[in-house]
Amino acid sequence: MNRLSVPGNVHEWNVYGKEFLPGHLGIEILSVQPDEVRARMTVQKNLCAPNGFLHAAAIVALADTSCGYATINTLPAGANGFTTIELKANFLGTALEGSVSCIAKPVHRGRATQVWDAEVREDTSGKIIGLFRCTQMILWPKDSDTGRA
């Protein structure tokens, strides 16, 4: 699958990231819809900080993957891809075991940018452990005469 191909079902989304960071972290895509992406990750020792808590970077990776896949799924026709230009995370808790889930939803979907919010929850309690917002810049093919997008 090339970088412009959009997976067509949940299995294909999981294969899409298998050899990349999402696969190495064990991120499982649960559903991909135009207005929502759901994903889950099992808490494992290799995702934790030395204090035993789920590492903040693992939570960001789950949220950023969810928002990134949502962006890919909703790219405007003719767009070449996207890149994250800003992200922010607030941590309200952590997890020691079990799994955490993420739901990403759009705030803004424009021609030049998309903004997505995500909530990460500890699955057993349902408690929100992370709030995340990212801005994606939509990439367009360059005009061969001017070199501009």
Average pLDDT over the chain reads 93
115 belongs to a structural domain: yes
The arrangement of strands across the sheet holding 28-33 comes to 28-33, 36-42, 99-109, 113-122, 128-139, 81-91
In a domain, 3, yes or no: no
Indicate whether 118 pLDDT > 60.
yes
| Domain of residue 115, CATH code | 3.10.129.10
| pLDDT attached to residue 2 | 41
Q: Is residue 4 part of a domain?
A: no
Q: What beta strand segments (E) does the chain contain? A: 28-33, 36-42, 81-91, 99-109, 113-122, 128-139
pLDDT tens-digit readout, 82-101? 999 999 999 999 999 999 99
Cβ atoms of 25 and 62 closer than 8 Å: yes
Does residue 2 sit within a domain?
A: no
- Assign 143 a pLDDT band (cuts: 50, 70, 90): confident
Report yes or no: 38 and 10 within 8 Å, Cβ to Cβ. no
Band of pLDDT at residue 123, cut at 50, 70 and 90: very high
Is residue 145 in some structural domain?
Answer: no
Quote the domain boundaries for residue 59.
Answer: 10-139
48-74: buried (b, 16+ CB within 10 Å) or exposed (e) per residue? Answer: beeeebbbeebbbbbbbbbbbbbbbbb
For residue 40, being part of any structural domain is answered with yes
3 state DSSP class of 66:
helix
Q: How far apart are CA 69 and CA 98, in angstroms?
A: 24
Query: Which tens digits make up the pLDDT trace of 17-58?
Result: 999 999 999 999 999 999 999 999 999 999 999 999 999 999
The answer to whether residue 149 is domain-embedded is: no
130 within a domain of the structure (yes/no): yes
Number of domains in the chain: 1
